[in-house]
Amino acid sequence: MTGRSGLQWLLLGLAVALLLAFAAFPLLWMGLTALKPSTEIFTWPPRLLPEAPTLSNIERLFAQTHFVTYFKNSVIVSSAAVILTLLLAVPGAYGLTRYRFFGRETIAATVLFTYMFAPIMIIIPFYIVMRTFGLANTHIALVLAYCAFSLPFALWMLRTFFQSIPIDLEEAAMTDGASRFRAVIHVVIPMALPGIIATAILTFILAWNDYIFARILISSDNLKTLPVGIADLYNASVIDWGMIMASGLLVIIPVIIVFSYVQKFLVAGWGSGGVKG
Amino acid sequence: MAEVKLVALEKKFGDISVIHRINLDIADGEFAVLVGPSGCGKTTTLRMVAGLEEVTGGSILFDGKAVERLEPKDRDIAMVFQSYALYPHMSVRDNMAFSLRMKGVSSAEKKRLVGIAAEMLGITDLLDRKPRQLSGGQRQRVAMGRALVREPKVFLFDEPLSNLDAALRAQMRIEIKRIHQRLRTTIIYVTHDQVEAMTLADKIVVMNGGHIEQVGDPLTLYRRPVSRFVAGFIGSPKMNFFPARLLADESGLHADLGEGIRIEMPQERDAAYRPYAGRSVEIGIRPEHLLDDARPIDSGAVAMDVTVDVVEPLGSTSLLTFVLGGTSYTAIGDVALMRRPGGRVRLRAAAKDIYLIDPESGRVVHPADDASTPVRLAI
């Protein structure tokens, strides 16, 4: 809140508007197209707002495709991936922060290194492993894949969060009669909550948006997730753009809802004041 | 309440030994202060008692029962941390009730006990606040309150006042002492501040380099320090140490401080000091015993003539700094004498207030019959 002049504010506003337009316009276009009847989609010159707004695209999506199944599959797989990742990453990151053992730093560094592999590089071996275990074409395979991919980042991020929690707080809890486990439950986890939520969101988004793993690992139509299911809409003889845009709209709505709800937890930390005067 | 015993307690970090087999007895209800410079091992010792640091060797006994292998939660201790370590996501009330919650105390009982502790510390109106909404002094009180709600066997304090300003520190010191007088729970208190140690302790434990230098009540440590380290650490301003040669002639022993300053040693210490005749020694005199005032020098006293370097008036007295052989020393002066830098003064000390230190061992040489020296109040 320093003294910026009117001109500076104007320029800043313009820059923000430009960036916003760049990021938001495709979304807006998608949303508006989803509400247009098929005849309006290809009119020239293009019109931004639908002349006769309709929900027929969405109706067709529900009636003629397995959209609901895909949606359900996506919710199940993404949620399971989040839960499994957190169950492994929270204790793992805590261990990498609080226990001293041989090779701790090497493990922490190597973990991040694995994050640098592109999914495409390991997808074939991963498929073979899953097939060997009889897990190909199951949701379990997808959950394991997403977990394997988000775990390095989750460990790294949560470790940073745990490191920022003063060890005094845990020690205080222990001298107050808590076991280490209860100290973690009552003190460490509440304080690391913003980090845990951020990790959950990133894992959820990774799983929700994934195309490549779902494409390779899943073959049955009734097990497909949204990205693959929607992509298959292109394979129809006539590409129904209205329906594709409608599905795009429905895919991002839950993400937006979750984001706006969870955002308040993300405002980092509980503020200082626990330690030191 | 418990009696605490440390037996041959030892701590190593890897190959580095930080606590060397120390022994210490703290009686039930006693206020023991571990004091020493940073790195002396006092906090490590406290953390071992708390169970936050593993013990390499030796034993810790609470009422004769070995606790060194127990988890902190099973030792029945309460600790106040230097950083206060308040749980930032909990209200003051929940912070204070945390230990009771861990014990499964009923809500009504929790409320009652938190109420009593809050009352004792005058923080009743802060109970619904979060730690970040408190000032440093208030946080300190909450940290104490969190320890006070229980009736632990031992209270452990790790430099609890070091983050407070001087005025608050003095106030909290009194309050801690008052709480101890009321509850009579065994306290182990760590500080680097010798004033805190002197004012609070029933028993001071001076630590240095992972050893215990001396254990005793404050006045014993002040009057009969066993070593140069303790003599220099206890007392403020710090004791002066003059390098000297102890010489013998027909009139007895005297110390030659150089620059023509000669201190006659009292006859009754002759036996103790005689083995040091002809050797280099150090003469220790506390500033508050080295006086510049208008009284005439009496017969049992020693005198030295020095040039005043710096004068620091304190109100009732003033600190006079003077230089001998390139080293600065401190004496206490009478403000009424209006000393100026550069002036010559004659400083006076009673013979009984002089210490002889063996510079090789760092030990203070005490005459055997000296224990009954009357106490002289400082400044």
Amino acid sitting at position B379:
I
3-state helix/strand/coil string of chain B: CCCEEEEEEEEEECCEEEEEEEEEEECCCCEEEEECCCCCCHHHHHHHHHCCCCCCEEEEEECCEECCCCCHHHCCEEEECCCCCCCCCCCHHHHHHHHHHHHCCCHHHHHHHHHHHHHHHCCHHHCCCCHHHCCHHHHHHHHHHHHHCCCCCEEEEECCCCCCCHHHHHHHHHHHHHHHHHHCCEEEEEECCHHHHHHHCCEEEEEECCEEEEEECHHHHHHCCCEHHHHHHCCCCCCEEEEEEEEEECCEEEEEEECCEEEECCHHHHHHHHHHCCCEEEEEECHHHCEECCCCCCCCEEEEEEEEEEEEECCCEEEEEEEECCEEEEEEEEHHHCCCCCCEEEEEEEHHHEEEEECCCCEEECCCCHHHCCCCCCC
- The mean predicted confidence, pLDDT, of chain B is 90
Same domain, B9 and B88: yes
Q: Which of B89, B98, B130 lies at the smallest CB-CB distance from A176?
A: B98
Q: What is the pLDDT of residue A271?
A: 44
- What mean pLDDT is predicted for residues B155-174? 91
Specify the pairing of strand B16-26 against strand B4-13: antiparallel
B350 pLDDT band (50/70/90 cuts)? confident
Query: Is residue A209 included in any domain, yes or no?
Result: yes
- What mean pLDDT is predicted for residues B351-358? 90
Asked whether A155 and A199 are in contact (CB, 8 A), the reply is no
Q: Among residues B180, B211, B232, which one ends one of the domains?
A: B232
Q: What is the pLDDT of residue B163?
A: 87
Query: Is residue B41 included in any domain, yes or no?
Result: yes
Name every residue whose Cβ is closer than 8 Å to that of residue A266 and which is 6 or more positions away in sequence: A194, A197, A198
Q: Among residues B209, B232, B255, which one ends one of the domains?
A: B232
Q: Which chain A residue has its CA at the smallest distance from B132's CA?
A: A273
Asked whether A88 and A199 are in contact (CB, 8 A), the reply is no
Within an 8 Å CB–CB cutoff, is residue A189 touching chain B?
no
Query: Is residue B296 included in any domain, yes or no?
Result: yes
Same domain, B310 and B210: no
Same domain, B34 and B177: yes
Asked if the model's pLDDT at residue B258 lies above 90, the reply is no
Q: What is the pLDDT of residue B269?
A: 87
Query: CA A179, A185, A188: angle at the middle one, nearest 5?
Result: 100
Q: What is the pLDDT of residue A3?
A: 65
CA distance B258 to A63: 108
Structural domain total, chain A: 1
Tokens describing residue B332: 């206490």
Q: What is the pLDDT of residue B300?
A: 66
Specify the pairing of strand B317-324 against strand B291-292: unpaired
Query: Is residue B92 included in any domain, yes or no?
Result: yes
Asked if the model's pLDDT at residue B378 lies above 50, the reply is no
Asked if the model's pLDDT at residue B373 lies above 50, the reply is no
Q: Which of A178, A187, A274 lies at the smallest CB-CB distance from B73?
A: A178
Paired with B17 in beta bridges are B12
Asked whether B160 and B82 are in contact (CB, 8 A), the reply is yes
Q: Is the peptide bond before B237 cis (omega within 30 degrees of 0)?
A: yes
CA distance B262 to B360: 22
Paired with B212 in beta bridges are B207
Contact A176 B163 (CB under 8 A): no
Q: What is the pLDDT of residue B297?
A: 65
Query: Is residue B375 included in any domain, yes or no?
Result: no
Same domain, B193 and B277: no
Asked if the model's pLDDT at residue B284 lies above 70, the reply is yes
- Residue range(s) defining the domain that contains residue B135: 4-232
- CATH code assigned at B188: 3.40.50.300
Asked whether B13 and B33 are in contact (CB, 8 A), the reply is no
Contact A179 B130 (CB under 8 A): no
Q: What is the pLDDT of residue B197?
A: 94
Same domain, B190 and B205: yes
Name every residue whose Cβ is closer than 8 Å to that of residue A164 and which is 6 or more positions away in sequence: A269
Testing the interface with A: which of B70, B71, B89 to mutate, by most A Cβ within 10 A? B89
Within an 8 Å CB–CB cutoff, is residue A187 touching chain B?
yes
Query: Is residue B378 included in any domain, yes or no?
Result: no
Nearest to A87 by CA among A16, A189, A167: A189
Same domain, B87 and B191: yes
- pLDDT single digits (tens) B73-106: 999 999 999 999 999 999 999 999 999 999 999 9
Asked if the model's pLDDT at residue B369 lies above 70, the reply is no
Asked whether B99 and A182 are in contact (CB, 8 A), the reply is no
Contact A175 B163 (CB under 8 A): no
Helix (H, G, I), strand (E, B), or coil: what is residue A275? coil
- pLDDT single digits (tens) A143-156: 999 999 899 989 98
Nearest to B221 by CA among B212, B229, B213, B230: B230
Contact A172 B79 (CB under 8 A): yes
- What mean pLDDT is predicted for residues B268-296? 89
Contact A273 B130 (CB under 8 A): yes
Contact B85 A190 (CB under 8 A): no
Same domain, B228 and B268: no
Same domain, B96 and B187: yes
Asked whether A191 and A269 are in contact (CB, 8 A), the reply is yes
Query: Is residue A105 included in any domain, yes or no?
Result: yes
A15 pLDDT band (50/70/90 cuts)? very high
Q: What is the pLDDT of residue B100?
A: 94
Q: Among residues B232, B258, B293, which one ends one of the domains?
A: B232
Q: Strand B65-66: give its sheet, edge to edge.
A: B16-26, B4-13, B57-62, B65-66
Asked if the model's pLDDT at residue B17 lies above 50, the reply is yes
Q: What is the pLDDT of residue A270?
A: 43
Q: What is the pLDDT of residue B198?
A: 93
- What mean pLDDT is predicted for residues B240-269? 88
Residue with the bigger pLDDT between B179 and B297: it is: B179
- CATH code assigned at A98: 1.10.3720.10
Nearest to B210 by CA among B19, B79, B10: B19
- What mean pLDDT is predicted for residues B253-264? 87
Structural domain total, chain B: 2
Please give, rounded to a whole number of angstroms, the shortest distance from the CA of B141 to a CA of chain A. 11
Within an 8 Å CB–CB cutoff, is residue A178 touching chain B?
yes
Amino acid sitting at position A190:
P
Name every residue whose Cβ is closer than 8 Å to that of residue A49 and which is 6 or more positions away in sequence: A32
Asked if the model's pLDDT at residue B152 lies above 60, the reply is yes
Query: Is residue A260 included in any domain, yes or no?
Result: no
Contacts of A182 in chain B (CB under 8 A): 102
Helix (H, G, I), strand (E, B), or coil: what is residue A91? helix
Query: Which alpha helices (DSSP H) does chain A contain, by range?
Result: 6-34, 38-41, 56-64, 67-98, 104-114, 119-132, 139-163, 167-175, 180-183, 189-209, 212-217, 226-233, 241-266
Contacts of A99 in chain B (CB under 8 A): none
Q: Which of A177, A191, A276 lies at the smallest CB-CB distance from B99?
A: A177
Contact B102 A182 (CB under 8 A): yes
**B201 class by beta-carbon count within 10 Å (0-12 exposed, 13-18 middle, 19+ buried):** buried
Q: What is the pLDDT of residue A37?
A: 87
Asked if the model's pLDDT at residue B8 lies above 80, the reply is yes
Q: String of b and e for A42-56 (b: at least 16 CB within 10 Å)?
A: eeeeeeeeeeeeeeb
ipTM for the whole complex: 0.83
Same domain, B228 and B245: no
Q: Which of B77, B85, B164 lies at the smallest CB-CB distance from A274?
A: B85
Residue with the bigger pLDDT between B375 and B134: it is: B134
pLDDT cut 90: percent of chain A above it: 43
Contact A271 B156 (CB under 8 A): no
Query: Is residue A101 included in any domain, yes or no?
Result: yes
- Residue range(s) defining the domain that contains residue A159: 69-219
Under an 8 Å CB criterion, which residues of B touch A? 50-52, 71-73, 77-79, 81, 83-89, 98-99, 102-103, 130-137, 139-140, 146, 150, 156, 163-164
Same domain, B314 and B193: no
Tokens 């029933």, located at residue: B202
Q: What is the pLDDT of residue B372?
A: 44
Q: What is the pLDDT of residue B304?
A: 86
Q: Which chain A residue has its CA at the smallest distance from B131's CA?
A: A273
Contacts of B84 in chain A (CB under 8 A): 274-277
B236 pLDDT band (50/70/90 cuts)? confident
Query: Is residue B376 included in any domain, yes or no?
Result: no
Asked if the model's pLDDT at residue A168 lies above 80, the reply is yes
Query: Is residue B360 included in any domain, yes or no?
Result: yes
Asked if the model's pLDDT at residue A273 lies above 50, the reply is no
Contacts of A277 in chain B (CB under 8 A): 84, 135-137, 139-140, 163-164
Same domain, B174 and B35: yes
Query: CA A260, A263, A267: angle at the middle one, nearest 5?
Result: 155
Query: Is residue A267 included in any domain, yes or no?
Result: no
Contact B85 A171 (CB under 8 A): yes
CA distance B122 to B97: 16
Same domain, B24 and B170: yes
Tokens describing residue B315: 């109100």
CA distance B56 to A47: 79
- CATH code assigned at B298: 2.40.50.100
Please give, rounded to a whole number of angstroms, the shortest distance from the CA of A259 to a CA of chain B. 23
